[in-house]
Amino acid sequence: MTNTGWEYREQLGGEARGLTVLAYLAARYRHASEQAWSERIARGEVLVDGELATGEQALRPGQLLCWRRPPWTEPEVPLHFETLYEDDDLLVVSKPSGLPTMPAGGLFLRHTLLALVRARDPQAAPMHRLGRGTSGLVLFGRTAQARSRLQAAWRAHRVEKVYRALASGELPAEPFVVEAPIGRIAHPALGSLNAATPAGKPARSEVRRVKLRADGSLAEVRIATGRPHQIRVHLAFAGHPLVGDPLYGPGGIPRADALPGDLGYQLHAWRLALEHPRTGRPLQLEAPLPAALQ
């Protein structure tokens, strides 16, 4: 599918002070080379405060930088989802592996769960997101009040999230907890990427081995926090990266030759338990497990 293009906007901070438009874009958005950014500027795709930019133009904090990206053909992905629950306040769906939750990585705009859901429910907004390779439950709020109450419940850790994963090696027979902080570290292709780092934000994952298999350990993981790629990072930090994960190796550090959207691992958002944001009644939801994680 070829989309209709998109306008990316950014209000500049202090890091832009004194840099040229070309230098700033090439350093901050490393998915494209300096030459590619130079050509985009020459084609009139980049604006500063509504005016066409030049590559040598100096920037200052507070300016609005825009890239008017022309239409592009998005990669093929599964373009379907299953509705698990809906009422006036909530919509809960099951996302297939391979479908991005939100626009990401400069590749996906229309080929996302968000676009598919909003085609039928324009007011729905996701309360969390799953990695592209992760399947399972995604919760949407359909009203502003529902979203506000769900956000408060999430901050207060009153939402229980349980995942199934296939971890490499033999997990301990006894349940264990991983609490490695997660934050941004340097990455050669992206500038920075989430990983295990002492400077990161607190994160907690409770891991239980469900079954030892010939291809690894089937695990159940409960997360009390929702840091980006938390389960992938934490199991890798514990020495048991997800089977087939191209990005996170032992220690929870990303490999330099892989990107967050790369597939190959088995991870499923299986169960979600919360109080209904309007009625307060307990709500327990479950997305059927894929065959590889049963």
Q: Which amino acid is at 131?
A: G
The pLDDT of residue 106 is above 90: no
Kindly report, residue by residue over 75-95, the tens digit of the pLDDT: 999 999 999 999 999 999 999
d(CA 177, CA 199): 19
Q: What pLDDT is stored for residue 256 in this prediction?
A: 80
Q: Determine how many CB atoms are found less than 10 A away from the CB of residue 260.
A: 20
Q: What pLDDT is stored for residue 193 in this prediction?
A: 86
d(CA 20, CA 39): 15
150 & 80 share domain: yes
Q: What pLDDT is stored for residue 55 in this prediction?
A: 93
Burial class (CB in 10 A: 0-12, 13-18, 19+), 215: exposed
Kindly report, residue by residue over 24-83, the tens digit of the pLDDT: 999 888 778 999 999 999 999 999 999 999 999 999 999 999 999 999 999 999 999 999
Q: Is residue 277 part of a domain?
A: no
User: Residue holding tokens 């040229």?
Assistant: 20
Q: What pLDDT is stored for residue 286 in this prediction?
A: 96
The CATH number of the domain where 121 resides is what? 3.30.2350.10
165 & 248 share domain: yes
Q: Is residue 124 part of a domain?
A: yes
Q: Is residue 49 part of a domain?
A: yes
Count the helix, strand and coil residues of the chain and give each as a percent rounded to the nearest 5: 15, 35, 50
145 & 94 share domain: yes
Instruction: Say which DSSP state 57 is in.
Output: P
| Domain membership of residue 56 as a residue range | 6-69
Tally of domains within the chain = 3
Which of 103, 131, 156 is the C-terminal boundary of a domain? 156
Q: Is residue 112 part of a domain?
A: yes
d(CA 208, CA 112): 31
Q: Is residue 172 part of a domain?
A: yes
Kindly report, residue by residue over 234-288, the tens digit of the pLDDT: 999 999 999 999 999 888 888 888 877 789 999 999 999 999 999 999 999 999 9
Q: What pLDDT is stored for residue 168 in this prediction?
A: 96
Are the beta carbons of 274 and 150 closer than 8 angstroms?
Answer: yes
147 & 178 share domain: no
168 & 147 share domain: no
Mean pLDDT of the residues in the chain: 94
Are the beta carbons of 208 and 220 closer than 8 angstroms?
Answer: yes
Q: Is residue 282 part of a domain?
A: no
Kindly report, residue by residue over 111-157, the tens digit of the pLDDT: 999 999 999 999 999 999 999 999 999 999 999 999 999 999 999 98
Q: Is residue 110 part of a domain?
A: yes
The CATH number of the domain where 57 resides is what? 3.10.290.10
Q: What pLDDT is stored for residue 133 in this prediction?
A: 95
d(CA 78, CA 276): 30
Strands (E), the chain: 6-11, 46-48, 51-52, 64-69, 82-86, 90-95, 125-126, 135-141, 160-167, 176-178, 182-187, 191-196, 205-213, 216-223, 248-249, 253-254, 267-275, 282-286
Which of 112, 132, 156 is the C-terminal boundary of a domain? 156
